[in-house]
Amino acid sequence: MLLKHEVIKWKRIYFFSNLFCCNLHTLQVINEESPIWDASYKPAVSLLLQRSANSKRVHDAASAQQNAVRRPIADGSQAKKYKYSSEVEDLSNEVVLQAMRNINDSKNSRSSEVVFPVNAPRDEAAKTKESRGEIELHIVGNSLSHPVSKQSMLWLLGLHSVFAHQLPGMPRDYISQLVFDPKHKTLALIEEGRPIGGICFRTFATQGFTEIVFCAVTGDKQVKGYGTHLMNHLKDYSIQQGTKHFLTYADEFAIGYFKKQGFSKDIKVARPIYAGYIKEYEGATLMHCELHPSIVYTQFSSVIRRQKDIVKELIAQRQQEVQKIHPGLTCFKEGVRSIPVESIPGLREVGWRPIARAQRQARPLEESADPDKLAQTLATVLVAVRQHSAAWPFQKPVSQADVPDYYDHIKYPMDLKTMGERLKRGYYVTRRLFMADMARIFTNCRFYNLPETEYYRCANTLERYFQTKMKEIGLWDK
């Protein structure tokens, strides 16, 4: 049965869900330069929702039915970006109700044909089994301070066997050391009383991250979504414990799996935070995953799929409403070379609006006539760059004792400490001298290091940050 608060909830998320339907010709993914962010832009009537005066009532009704996306409190920048037009007409309850009925009827008609819908999430089967009680997930671990149940010890032994069998390159005694270490815990996937998979991890609460040590599922249970389901449960558990970062060293066979789970080679945690806490593995790649505290990961894919279905159905309804065939244009046969776009029949009916001309941007600020003022401005940028988490490799000159051949390849070295000294001596009389030295830091790094190294990634990250800071103060014209 369809409830009224469900209708309101799905209406409020309709706009954001269009990002998942970009292949439909009626909608497009909106970029930063799109006119949709212009306050004067008025979209098609039934394609956007307004933030009406009774938004508080709507929000309270939606909060009563908590789902996978916990609604975050938008900061000032977000509130400005997603600004709704007060003139946009809201969708009626009847329209959304009809869309939900059509979706449910369509699913019921196909229930005898397929077990799971087409393009179902990877963990759909695992979630179904968990809801039926066929599988269970438990956090288990050893302890030296209080008794450990016999069941937990049996599961730990079973998990040790799973890891040892699925990770043949890992020494058994090392697996035993970590699985039975009281500081490590394991999220166990249990079927018929025995472990069929798990994730061994250790949380460094003071550092704000969790290290994933082992992750494996038995061979006969792979490619069934169990790995994704395990990782989603671990994400939810970590968020509840206040941890928002995962770090792991993945070998060449595991990189693909971790990428699917949201991990990236772009490490957003400063090296001093994890250096010395986790063990580095030769031949493995460090990967990072940042968790969003407003998401319930075990339910997220289902909610997104539901939103997508509703948006597609509403689009189909809208197409039926505005479907109209206009006669072709004959003016070009009569010698007309061009016509205004807004004169094409049917464009305004489907929501098209003329794009406002962008105002001519002023040229970047040139060098200040006051050298002290320019030095003060550049000093502010340099301090911000040095405090960035990716700046640690560039803080001081490269030591020849640590890297003997560095100066054989790099003839014109540069670092942030040297730039600070030059700034104090008044060397940077123009911004271009300052930009040239900063660019030399990144160029030298990329010339000496391979693209897959952390130094190379830090150079790219810090370069983007530097350009952003220079643009903010109007000293970047590239």
Q: Residue 439 belongs to a domain with what CATH number?
A: 1.20.920.10
Tell me the per-residue pLDDT of 362-385, one tens digit each, with 9 for 90 and over.
444 455 557 788 889 999 999 999
Cα separation of 106 and 114, whole Å? 12
Q: Does residue 359 lie within any of the structural domains?
A: no
Hey, which residues are catalytic here? 211
* pTM for the model: 0.52
Give the residue among 2, 86, 17, 79 at the shortest CA–CA distance from 47: 17
Q: Does residue 65 lie within any of the structural domains?
A: no
Please report the pLDDT score of residue 52 as a whole number: 39
Residue 303's H or E segment, with its range, is helix 297-322
Q: In terms of domains, do 290 and 157 share one?
A: yes
Q: Does residue 41 lie within any of the structural domains?
A: no
The DSSP symbol for 65 reads: S
Cα separation of 221 and 219, whole Å? 5
Tell me the per-residue pLDDT of 130-153, one tens digit each, with 9 for 90 and over.
989 999 999 999 999 999 999 999
Q: Does residue 68 lie within any of the structural domains?
A: no
Tell me the per-residue pLDDT of 19-44, one tens digit each, with 9 for 90 and over.
334 333 333 333 445 454 455 544 44
CA atoms in the 13 A half-sphere facing the CB of 79? 5
Copy the structure tokens of residue 124. 């759909």
The set of long-range contacts for 262-271, using a CB threshold of 8 Å and a minimum separation of 24, is 262/289, 263/287, 263/288, 263/289, 264/288, 264/289, 265/452, 265/457, 266/457, 266/461, 267/454, 267/457, 268/389, 269/209, 269/245, 269/389, 270/389, 270/390, 270/392, 271/392, 271/454
Please report the pLDDT score of residue 306 as a whole number: 82
Please report the pLDDT score of residue 43 as a whole number: 46
Q: Does residue 383 lie within any of the structural domains?
A: yes
Q: Which domain holds residue 343?
A: 300-350
Q: In terms of domains, do 326 and 393 share one?
A: no
To the nearest whole percent, how much of the chain has pLDDT over 70? 73
User: How many domains would you assign to the chain?
Assistant: 3
- Report residue 73's pLDDT band, with 50, 70 and 90 as the boundaries: very low
Q: In terms of domains, do 317 and 406 share one?
A: no
